[in-house]
Amino acid sequence: MNFFILVLVATTIGFASRAEPARQRICYSTAETRDKIVSLGLFEPFHLMRNAATKMQAEAIGARLCRWSEDLVYEISLLRHDGRVLHISVDAKTGKVVGSKNEE
């Protein structure tokens, strides 16, 4: 699956509906994401997706870069073998998991 399809799938399956009342949330296009990775020295999303998938025993299905207030965060979607979709938020500068939201 290429990156464009993965981003579309992530948007469709959950992040668009998630509310962030305390934080302003703005997500970036694929081109904007590439520019920010280069200009700000952010982690590559594929590396973080692969690590999250391995750790959670799931298949990475999408990622996108978003700004939450002043923080840049990758929102990563994973599909477990039991059909559950997991949503992991990873700080784009440090690579550390900063949150998760899982569908039951």
Residue 18 is given by DSSP the state -
Query: Could you report the per-residue pLDDT of 69-81, keeping only the tens digit for each?
Result: 889 999 999 999 9
pLDDT of residue 11: 44
Lay out the sheet containing 85-91: strands in order across.
Answer: 25-27, 58-68, 71-80, 85-91, 97-102
| Closest alpha carbon to 40 in 22, 67, 16 | 67
- Average confidence score pLDDT of the chain: 82
The separation between CA 78 and the C-alpha centre of its own chain, rounded to angstroms, equals 9
For 64, phi then psi, to 5°, come to: -150, 155
Whether the pTM exceeds 0.95: the reply is no
pLDDT digit string, tens, across residues 84-103: 999 999 999 999 999 988 75
Domain that holds residue 42: 3-102
- Which amino acid is residue 68, in one-letter code? W
Looking at the structure of the chain, the number of domains it has is 1
